[in-house]
Structure 1
Amino acid sequence: MFHAYTGDEQFDLQLNRFTHPELDPSVKGDLAEVIPQLRTAGDWYPCWSELARRREVAGDHAVASGYWGAAAFYEPLDSETKRTAVAGFRREFYAGWDGPELERLEVPYAGSSLPALRIRTAAEHSAEPLLLFGGFDSYTEEMAGWLRALGDCGRDVVIFDGPGQGTALMRGLTMPLAWERPVGAVLDALEIERCAAMGMSLGGLLVMRAAAFEPRITRAVAMDVFYRMFDALEIRLPRTAGVALEFLVWCRASGVLDAAVSRLAARDHDMAWKLQQALAITGTDSPHALLYELVRWSLAGLGPLVRQDVLLFAGERDQYVPLRRLDQVARELVNANSVTTRVFTDAEHAAEHCQVGNLPLALGAVRDWLDETEERLP
């Protein structure tokens, strides 16, 4: 279930994301110790890295991995602390993995490679594989851990860090809007002729883009629906501020934009993190250049190109995506073979972004939908 630990919306989402006291009750003691110390974003690395090292010594690898993930979250991409925390997160993930067979792969891409994992979830794989990727700040290892909630879904699951994500970003690969390119590279390398595809968070936009241009995708899942990048920047701003921001972008008022966004980031750790991460994944070097780039990141005009079966999720209290976007995306998918929507609620402990708080419920719904739509594939 989702816990409102601090009253700070972003802090609470990340605390629920990286710690799972339902799986290990001893985590509650660590939370009681660390939460009073988390006053600013700068407190996360020293607090969580100390706890992560303590858990490593105790051999609690899965817990240590989550703590290292929390330690990494607010750190700048090019910092030594980020590299240390990400290395710890990945090292402890593999040390603590006790799930199905897991194959580590490297997919050639743009003169470098994309890290991928293939998880064997059943003895026989008659169903189409599921291709899974994240969005704004994800890692393959984190999503692999979440897939335990999916259970034996009777299909291989392939997870990858695309350019701009996870380890691929740390290799210098920035994120393209043309997401069909990394998807195509993975499908080519693994010789996959047909698959379902699922994108999480910003991946909800990326999966629709990929489905529009990659015919090997037969079904698409957006967890959650994500219409445009600007929504995540504006959703917690006063409406007048959001309108003003978009007007300044339209006017190309670069100096004013740099000053305004910098002021917002200086007094709001959520905005500061969004700015820091977005600059990194897009490879832009200023707030105004970033905002000019983000205008392109939208599903506008792509809906009619999607012809697959589509599953769209939304959380009624998503802090990054307005709930109204769910109906809008569904309406724009005019040529989809079918469109299924689901809104998750507080009562289900799944109202937050990507259903953090009740992943088993959400992933169970994905599994059921995949089984149902599998039966009517040509």
Structure 2
Amino acid sequence: MKKDKITFEKGLYSLNEEPNFNFQLNRIIMWNEGNLEDLKEISHRIKDSATWKKELIGIGDKAKNEGRIKEAIAYYRMSEFFMYDHDPDKVKYYKLAADMFYEYYKEYFEDRTVIKYEVPYEDIKLPVLCTKAVGKRKDTILLHGGNDSYMEELFFAMLYFAENGFDVYLFEGPGQGDVMRIQGKHFTYKWEKPVTVVIDYFKLNEVTIIGASLGGMLAPRAAAYEKRIKRVIAWSIFPNFFSVILSTMPSFEQKLVKLLMKLHGAPIINLMFKLGAKSNATVDWGIKHGMYAYNAKSPYEYAVKLNEFQIEDVGHLIDQDVLIIGANKDHFINYKIFKDELDCLSNVRSLTFRLFTEKESACNHCNMGNTKLTLDTMINWIEQIKC
């Protein structure tokens, strides 16, 4: 089914007391086309990963049986979100949602509005969706997600960019979507490698790269080494993954963890994270998902790997135009660490920082609640930088 015009929901809803569950429920509405009333019915019953899975599959089955395929796709896709790698349902529901998505939106592919490619990369293939600008082309955008993204949930952002005059290449790299769940390729902090492969494959010469969430670190990292990237949009403040994790902790805990890491105190750090996971659903999910996606055998090993995911050590190599977009009530990231990011970008051609707020309905992670305003901000910035 094709849309006459790409539109986005606006606003944030209070659906669950736990911040991450509440955010992800909003994400289902804002990015995955879920229905608010469906989610209101089950949101209060979500207490942990198990109840998340049960309730999302339940409303997915209900929507499917009622012929509401668009909503069923959203619920099945996100039901997988809090499943862990040992759960056989993780791949089952990921594949179900993906298959339903491409069947439901097949008209976009049948008339070649969108073309899907598989780009060879090392021992796997990177999925890429390509759409061309409506009207005169203003620029070429290379778009990707972050730590826990699915390519398909950026599908309509891709089409919105095309409506506004941009060729767009939307892709998944190691650690993301199909590449992780089906092909088993874990994350790499050397994001310039998959980016260069995609740029080479399509013979692109001048692009704007946009990375969401952890992509806010991955995209600038790629730009440090791949100079066919001329403009960088970091769709989240993300100077260093490890410092992002620490930024939400009390000051004393931050200092303690840093000291233990310096002393290689693996047993104590593993115990600390284990205790934290018992009392905090977000910590529990973050550790288990992280160990899965980053191929780490312990929380300590995961923390060591996180410290590789940074731009502070390569910031001086980034010499392009850069836009950083933050949110002042991001439950994952303390926006005050933006100074660390700005300070490391010492050689950029230009640097713009935009902090969204509650008044704009865009104060949460990736500005969830006002996608249109966020995308319009990116478009306006590209137009201004290029003129």
In 2, distance between residues paired with 1:232 and 1:277? 16
In 2, distance between residues paired with 1:40 and 1:232? 23
Do residues 247 (structure 1) and 262 (structure 2) align?
Answer: no
Moved more, 4-13 or 322-331: 322-331
- Residues 149 and 359 of structure 1 are in contact (CA less than 8 Å); yes or no, is this contact kept in structure 2? no
Report the CA distance between 1:149 and its aligned residue. Answer: 4.8
- Residues 164 and 173 of structure 1 are in contact (CA less than 8 Å); yes or no, is this contact kept in structure 2? yes
**Which residue is 1:17 aligned to?**
27
1:22-74 Cα distance to aligned partner (Å, 9 max, x none): 977xx233122111221222111111112112222333232222111221110
Query: Which one of the candidate residues 125, 140, 143 is aligned to 1:132?
Result: 143
Query: Which one of the candidate residues 32, 35, 38 is aligned to 2:43?
Result: 35
> Residue 306 of structure 2 aligns to which amino acid in structure 1?
L
Do residues 295 (structure 1) and 307 (structure 2) align?
Answer: yes
Q: How many percent identity over aligned positions?
A: 26
Report the CA distance between 1:148 and its aligned residue. Answer: 4.7
Report the CA distance between 1:278 and its aligned residue. Answer: 1.3
> Residue 161 of structure 1 aligns to which amino acid in structure 2?
E
**Which residue is 1:114 aligned to?**
126
Query: Which one of the candidate residues 282, 291, 294 is aligned to 1:270?
Result: 282
Do residues 358 (structure 1) and 370 (structure 2) align?
Answer: yes
In 1, distance between residues paired with 2:207 and 2:303? 34
Report the CA distance between 1:200 and its aligned residue. Answer: 0.3
**Which residue is 1:54 aligned to?**
62
Report the CA distance between 1:286 and its aligned residue. Answer: 1.0
Secondary structure class of the residue paired with 1:104: strand
Query: Which one of the candidate residues 217, 231, 240 is aligned to 1:228?
Result: 240
In 1, distance between residues paired with 2:156 and 2:76? 14
Distance 1:282 1:28, change over 3 A: closer
In 2, distance between residues paired with 1:41 and 1:5? 16
Q: TM-score, normalised by structure 1?
A: 0.93
In 2, distance between residues paired with 1:21 and 1:256? 39
Secondary structure class of the residue paired with 1:132: strand
> Residue 211 of structure 2 aligns to which amino acid in structure 1?
G
> Residue 223 of structure 2 aligns to which amino acid in structure 1?
A
In 2, distance between residues paired with 1:216 and 1:361? 27
Do residues 323 (structure 1) and 323 (structure 2) align?
Answer: no
**Which residue is 1:314 aligned to?**
326
- Residues 105 and 115 of structure 1 are in contact (CA less than 8 Å); yes or no, is this contact kept in structure 2? yes
- Residues 233 and 323 of structure 2 are in contact (CA less than 8 Å); yes or no, is this contact kept in structure 1? yes
Report the CA distance between 1:301 and its aligned residue. Answer: 2.7
Moved more, 134-143 or 316-325: 316-325
- Residues 207 and 230 of structure 2 are in contact (CA less than 8 Å); yes or no, is this contact kept in structure 1? yes
Moved more, 87-96 or 207-216: 87-96
In 2, distance between residues paired with 1:23 and 1:213? 36
- Residues 231 and 320 of structure 1 are in contact (CA less than 8 Å); yes or no, is this contact kept in structure 2? no
> Residue 11 of structure 1 aligns to which amino acid in structure 2?
F
Q: How many matched pairs?
A: 372
> Residue 280 of structure 1 aligns to which amino acid in structure 2?
Y
Distance 1:191 1:178, change over 3 A: same
The CA RMSD over aligned residues, in Å, is: 2.0
Do residues 219 (structure 1) and 231 (structure 2) align?
Answer: yes
1:254-298 Cα distance to aligned partner (Å, 9 max, x none): 111222211111221101111112112211111121112222222
- Residues 312 and 341 of structure 2 are in contact (CA less than 8 Å); yes or no, is this contact kept in structure 1? no
In 1, distance between residues paired with 2:158 and 2:170? 10
- Residues 205 and 298 of structure 1 are in contact (CA less than 8 Å); yes or no, is this contact kept in structure 2? yes
1:342-378 Cα distance to aligned partner (Å, 9 max, x none): 1100011100010011101101111111122222xxx
Gaps of 5+ in 2: 1-10
Moved more, 228-237 or 63-72: 228-237
Moved more, 226-235 or 46-55: 226-235
- Residues 162 and 168 of structure 2 are in contact (CA less than 8 Å); yes or no, is this contact kept in structure 1? no
- Residues 44 and 70 of structure 1 are in contact (CA less than 8 Å); yes or no, is this contact kept in structure 2? no
> Residue 15 of structure 1 aligns to which amino acid in structure 2?
L
> Residue 53 of structure 1 aligns to which amino acid in structure 2?
D
